């Protein structure tokens, strides 16, 4: 079996920047939408995790999930109020408006653009959204792109894997919905940020946003 460094085509003494660059490059080259296979793509993700953690990917993941697991069996989940970033321009709204969600609630938006749903305990935000019948964008589901990025305006979303967002974006409340697990009773999020100028370069091909919703 190839070493994680061989999978990423780097030397064992590569520094952090080289590792990140190699991961991004290999994630692009092995992405199933670019002619790669799912097995190759997953091997690249596992290799990156192994290098970063110094442990086996399985162990790192298990420990993380155990740490963030909820202990209350009766946990009702997280109530998430969501708003589609793409409708902001149409209404002359800004992502920084203090009353953004109040205006959205009064605007009569379609439920694919604004609404409320519940994410079950131990579900990621994206899994909860999909269980409710909605289609939010994603590509890799492994922390290697910004296709699934959301802005967390209120509440908390943990991050299992994030190899892509800069500290500035994270400080701005940007998180990845594909592996982020809600950590608060209530959340307000803006989804579909993939075309935001500072995220556009971080996208991978394979945008699966079809605006589908329950009842379609
Ligand atoms: S879909 Fe790529 S990081 Fe979430």
Q: Which domains are present in the chain?
A: 4-56 (1.10.287.110), 78-209 (3.10.20.30)
Residue 62 CA to ligand 1 centre (angstroms): 19
CA 41, CA 166: separation in Å to the nearest integer?
Answer: 22
Residue 106 CA to ligand 1 centre (angstroms): 31
Pocket of ligand 1 (CB under 6 A): 138-141, 143-145, 147-148, 176, 178
CA Rg value for the chain: 18
List Cα–Cα distances, 145 to 31, 93, 162, 176, in angstroms.
11, 26, 9, 9
Question: Quick one: which of 181, 141, 184 has its CA closest to 163?
Answer: 141
> In which order are the strands placed within the sheet that holds 78-84?
114-119, 78-84, 186-191, 149-154, 174-176
- 10, two tokens: 């780097």
CA 212, CA 17: separation in Å to the nearest integer?
Answer: 38
Which atom of ligand 1 approaches the CA of 177 most closely? 4
CA 194, CA 4: separation in Å to the nearest integer?
Answer: 30
Q: Tens-of-pLDDT digits for all 216 residues of the chain?
A: 678 888 888 888 888 878 877 877 787 777 766 677 777 877 887 787 788 777 544 434 334 344 444 444 466 899 999 999 999 999 999 999 999 999 999 999 999 999 999 999 989 999 999 999 999 999 988 888 899 999 999 999 998 787 888 889 999 999 999 999 999 999 999 999 988 888 888 888 765 554 444 444
Asked if 124 contacts 27 with a C-beta cutoff of 8 angstroms, the reply is no
Ligand 1 site-directed mutation target among 33, 158, 175, 178, most atoms within 8 Å of CB:
178
Which atom of ligand 1 approaches the CA of 179 most closely? 4
Which atom of ligand 1 approaches the CA of 162 most closely? 3
Count the alpha carbons within 13 Å of 46 in the hemisphere toward its beta carbon.
14
Ligand 1 site-directed mutation target among 140, 207, 209, most atoms within 8 Å of CB:
140
Question: Quick one: which of 172, 164, 124 has its CA closest to 144?
Answer: 164
What pTM value is reported for the model? 0.67
Residue 154 CA to ligand 1 centre (angstroms): 21
């Amino acid at each position: 079996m190839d070493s994680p460094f061989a999978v990423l085509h780097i030397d064992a003494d590569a520094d952090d920047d080289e590792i990140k660059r190699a991961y991004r490059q290999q994630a692009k080259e092995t992405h199933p939408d670019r002619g790669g296979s799912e097995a190759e793509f997953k091997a690249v993700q596992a290799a990156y995790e192994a290098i970063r953690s110094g442990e086996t990917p399985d162990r790192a993941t298990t420990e993380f999930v155990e740490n963030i697991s909820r202990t209350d069996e009766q946990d009702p989940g997280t109530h998430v109020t969501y708003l589609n970033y793409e409708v902001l321009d149409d209404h002359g709204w800004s992502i920084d408006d203090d009353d953004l969600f109040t205006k959205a609630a009064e605007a009569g938006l379609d439920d694919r653009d604004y609404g409320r749903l519940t994410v079950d305990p131990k579900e990621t935000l994206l899994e909860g959204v999909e269980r409710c019948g909605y289609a939010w964008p994603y590509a890799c589901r492994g922390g290697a792109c910004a296709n699934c990025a959301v802005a967390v305006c209120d509440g908390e979303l943990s991050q299992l894997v994030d190899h892509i967002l800069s500290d500035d974006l994270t400080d701005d409340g940007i998180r990845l919905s594909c592996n982020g697990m809600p950590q608060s009773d209530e959340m307000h999020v803006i989804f579909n940020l993939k075309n935001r100028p500072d995220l556009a370069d971080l996208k991978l091909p394979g945008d699966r946003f079809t605006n589908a919703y329950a009842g379609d």
